[in-house]
Structure 1
Amino acid sequence: MRPALKALAAQTLVITGATSGIGLATARAAAARGAKLLLVSRNEQALRALCEELKARGGTANFAVADVADLASVQAAAARADELYGGFDTWVNNAGVSVYGAIADTPLEDQRRIFETNYWGVVHGSQVAVEQLKGRADGGTLINIGSVLSDQAIPVQGVYCASKHAVKGFTNALRMELARSAPGVSVTLIKPAALDTPFRDHARNYTGAPVKNPPPIYAASLVADAILYAAETPTREITVGGGGRALVQFGQHFPWLAEPLLAWAVPLLSRGASEPSEAKDDALYKAGRDLREHSPYFGVRQTSLYTAAQLNPRITAAVISGALAAGLVMLKARDSLRIHGAKREAVRRYRANAEARQPVQD
């Protein structure tokens, strides 16, 4: 059964990690389109400011303070959505943290903390969301934020890559299980490429130098668009950013070349010129203190044809069909010209042979 999802303006969304980067961009975009919101993060001050901002623009937003690593606080957030709105239609597991540095240089305590947030946070949110959504007649949507690094690991962010690989495995397995037990629940994995979010500013850094995301860099708004599309349209997976998809394809098809090249290039491409002036203390164990969608990057890509193609499958199918049809017409035309040319050449040769056979008159 294909889930029948509501229009966004008729939905209530729960968004974790709502006060920064992807979560913040999604909250603003969803409120602008009429959705009701329950915003979740560890930063109560930022949550209050964001709700006031969205309400001033005519939106409907409330908040719940929660650390997704703590199951009880995630359950309390779901109960808050039920209290305020009578439940929710879409749950977005977006909260995440990272560390820059070699795996050997990253303390085990920090590695466990990354998994507590990135993996167990997704598990907690998914279990709470599915428990409520599967009992609804109209189903709903669970959206988990992975990464292109869910498919292709890179150095410098090895522990983060491992956590996102785990998110992908969990999400895909859960989707298959729900296909039998709760077919009305849509489960989507969204895999962004490198973004212009404060991700690097909130990450713990063991490299001893300023860091940045390797290019190409895409706008956070592209991920927000993908999330809101998935909230309305049952979708298995969306990759945001063609550059990220190219990296994955390169790694999958040419690992013998990709791995040594990435081992050399990624540490170089991850070096920042200087720390951004807005950078705060890392958010590995405590809430980030700022309310920002972006971090300073040059040459941020505001569009992605690859992502747009995924969000507009009918148009994409029509364009591909048109291109194939045009190609067939061109092939047929070429064949017709070739056949016509062959016929003309045959006639020319026949006439030349006929003239050669005519007797010479004295």
Structure 2
Amino acid sequence: MLRRTELAFIGIPLQSAYCSSKSACRGFFESTRAELIHEGSHVRMSMVHLPAVNTPQFDWCQTAMSHHPMPVPPIYQPEIPAKFILDAALDGRRDKIIGSWNKMLVLVAKFAPGLGNQYAAIGAWQAQLTQQTISPDRPVNLYQPADDENDHGAHGSFDDRAGGVMDPSFLKSLPKTAKTFCVAVAHTAKYKKLVWENQQRRG
């Protein structure tokens, strides 16, 4: 069972290493699954692509930013993907993308990757940062556990906005998201026009 995010399909700023690792896992899954089928193995592999999840990851990850990191909305509680992961392990499905928003992003990455790049460049930077500045005594789990003395559980600090696509905070952001999408479409069209003009000049 491999657990990945939609960032295996589409990259966003500030997450180059993270997105690279997810893409690598996706390639590993595809190759290994083909090998198992070739060998007639009874070992099953499934890949579940998670949405943004409210875990403690964002409370103690190493960051060079001045503001507290956060998952890009819509955000889900850990119990939601946990159910789908269990289902995939039991029924042996090949893969599962959790969340309608995730499915849309994957389609954009597949059929309009340039548009996905423009949208991520415009909208995904600030969407990963809260208004809260980083505390100097913020725990960091890069070199040692941040929860070795106390179990903080599965939930992070975004319980108040982890209602998925129906969360009020996410619904409130949709007009701004639509505007960002329109700007991304315009930038994509401008870029394609520039490429076409360059091709015409070169003959």
TM over 0.5: yes
1:295 and 2:153 equivalent?
no
Q: Could you tell me how far apart the structure 2 residues matched to 1:272 and 1:302 are? A: 18
Q: Could you tell me whether the CA contact under 8 Å between 2:8 and 2:19 is conserved in 1?
A: yes
1:161 and 2:19 equivalent?
yes
Report the Cα offset of residue 262 of structure 1: 1.1
| Equivalent residue, structure 1, for 2:122 | 264
Q: How many residues align?
A: 161
Q: Which segment is superposed worse, 182-191 or 280-289? A: 280-289
Matches within 5 A, 1:1-362: 143-274=1-132, 281-289=139-147, 290-297=151-158, 298-301=160-163
Per the normalisation by structure 2, the TM-score is 0.72
Report the Cα offset of residue 182 of structure 1: 4.9
Q: Which amino acid in structure 1 is aligned with residue 103 of structure 2?
A: R
Distance 1:176 1:300, change over 3 A: same
Distance 1:255 1:208, change over 3 A: same
Distance 1:241 1:280, change over 3 A: farther
Q: Could you tell me whether the CA contact under 8 Å between 2:45 and 2:92 is conserved in 1?
A: yes
Q: Which amino acid in structure 2 is aligned with residue 188 of structure 1?
A: S
Report the Cα offset of residue 273 of structure 1: 2.1
**Tell me, what secondary structure is at the counterpart of 1:214?**
coil
Q: Could you tell me how far apart the structure 2 residues matched to 1:231 and 1:261 are? A: 34
Q: Which amino acid in structure 2 is aligned with residue 292 of structure 1?
A: G
Q: Could you tell me how far apart the structure 2 residues matched to 1:230 and 1:275 are? A: 39
Q: Which amino acid in structure 1 is aligned with residue 154 of structure 2?
A: E
Q: Could you tell me whether the CA contact under 8 Å between 1:190 and 1:237 is conserved in 2?
A: yes
Q: Could you tell me how far apart the structure 1 residues matched to 2:141 and 2:127 are? A: 23
Q: Could you tell me whether the CA contact under 8 Å between 1:211 and 1:275 is conserved in 2?
A: no
Per the normalisation by structure 1, the TM-score is 0.41
Q: Could you tell me whether the CA contact under 8 Å between 2:50 and 2:98 is conserved in 1?
A: yes
**Tell me, what secondary structure is at the counterpart of 1:274?**
strand
Q: Could you tell me how far apart the structure 1 residues matched to 2:134 and 2:49 are? A: 25
Instruction: Please identify the structure whose Cα radius of gyration is greater.
Output: 1
Q: Could you tell me whether the CA contact under 8 Å between 1:171 and 1:187 is conserved in 2?
A: yes
| Equivalent residue, structure 1, for 2:196 | none
Q: Which amino acid in structure 2 is aligned with residue 223 of structure 1?
A: P
Q: Which amino acid in structure 2 is aligned with residue 216 of structure 1?
A: P
Report the Cα offset of residue 291 of structure 1: 2.8
| Equivalent residue, structure 2, for 1:33 | none
RMSD: 2.3
Distance 1:165 1:224, change over 3 A: same
Q: Could you tell me how far apart the structure 2 residues matched to 1:292 and 1:230 are? A: 23
Report the Cα offset of residue 301 of structure 1: 2.3
Structure with the larger RCO, 1 or 2 (CA within 8 Å, 6+ apart): 2
Q: Could you tell me whether the CA contact under 8 Å between 1:222 and 1:302 is conserved in 2?
A: no
Distance 1:180 1:164, change over 3 A: same
Q: Could you tell me whether the CA contact under 8 Å between 2:67 and 2:134 is conserved in 1?
A: no
Q: Could you tell me whether the CA contact under 8 Å between 2:4 and 2:50 is conserved in 1?
A: yes
Report the Cα offset of residue 276 of structure 1: 9.1
Identity of aligned residues (%): 25
Q: Could you tell me whether the CA contact under 8 Å between 1:190 and 1:238 is conserved in 2?
A: yes
Report the Cα offset of residue 255 of structure 1: 2.3
Distance 1:208 1:265, change over 3 A: same
Q: Could you tell me how far apart the structure 2 residues matched to 1:239 and 1:180 are? A: 25
Q: Which amino acid in structure 2 is aligned with residue 242 of structure 1?
A: S
5+ residue gaps in structure 2?
167-203
